[in-house]
Amino acid sequence: MAFPYQWQRRTDRWKNSFRGIFGANKEPRPKMCPSCGTLVGINATRCHQCGTNITFSLAAVSRGLSGVFGGRAPVTTAVLIVNVLMLGASIVATINAGGGRGLSLLWGLNGEVLYRLGSTYPPAIFDGHQWWRLVTAMFLHGGLIHIGFNMMVLMDIGPVVEEVYGPGRYLFLYTVTGVAGYLLSSFVGYQSASGGHPSVGASGAILGLIGLMIAITTRRTGAHMQQLRSRLISWVVSIFVFGFLLSGVDNLAHLGGLAAGFALGKIFADREPRNGSERTTANVLGWSAAIVIIASFAVMLLHVKDQLPGS
């Protein structure tokens, strides 16, 4: 049975990427600067226009990774993959802990497992200074229904926002809005009499993307932008109404992500970087966010067997 056309293209991109990694022979051809897009010579190692190293630079690595993940939204695809992998790890750990029976996988993964894998928990964050939980919680979900809904919305909105801002700034904005949502939720919970509750999910960051889109529509004129803004606002209202009607929904994380996204949408130019300097800044922001995410998961692994609170 033949592969679908999109998967054939993606397979070809992966093959070409791996050939480059292992040094397979290719026909020499002119290169394009990954930073400013200028065409340079076959043997050039630096761009004569902006001075970027053609092979060893943040822009070159970013372009290579974009080729591996493919499509017009490589970061959104990578985020989806990490979320699915973490759900798989959560399910396996839940089953090993004696859970995962019946319909519990739909919306009832083991709370201890989610805590060990990095859910937010206000006392652990503010008393134990486990700030990495603000990041790792964005890639965890309570069950199949939870991740299914979030990833459906992410794949609908994410590629649009990523195309507007470019992959580097998109990853930075996604991470910052997600952290802002959990920071607000955890702070308010920590101040409450109960001390707060654990929370997981990508919805704070996804509301951040919606906030960015609302900000974009306020900076552009026209009937189409007004209609889009009205639909986005109606969508946000519906999300919060359902959040208040259903138990276990972290509305404060939603609010924090939405507010942060709207504020950042007013600050950042709503277009891809246009020149070498802007591309360098975007790559620095994107790789800073990636390093924070990787470091957060590394610290989570170091603490995965720590004693549970209150035990």
> Among all residues, which ones are annotated catalytic?
203, 254
Tokens of 45: 């190692």
Q: Could you give the angle at the alpha carbon of 83 between the alpha carbons of 82 and 89, nearest 5°?
A: 90
In 42-127, the DSSP E strands lie at none
What span, in angstroms and rounded, lies between the C-alpha atoms of 242 and 246? Answer: 6
Would you mind telling me the total number of residues written for the chain in this entry?
Answer: 311
Contacts of 12 by beta carbon, 8 Å cutoff, 6+ apart: none
What is the DSSP track for 141-210? Answer: -SSHHHHHHHHHHHHHHHHHHHHHH-HHHHHHHHHHHHHHHHHHHHHHHHHSTT----B--SHHHHHHHH
Q: Which helix (H) or strand (E) holds 204?
A: helix 203-219
Which residue, among 95, 141, 104, has the nearest Cα to 119 in the 3D structure?
141
Tokens of 304: 């995965």
Helices (H) and strands (E) in the chain, counts: 13, 2
Residue 221 amino acid letter? T
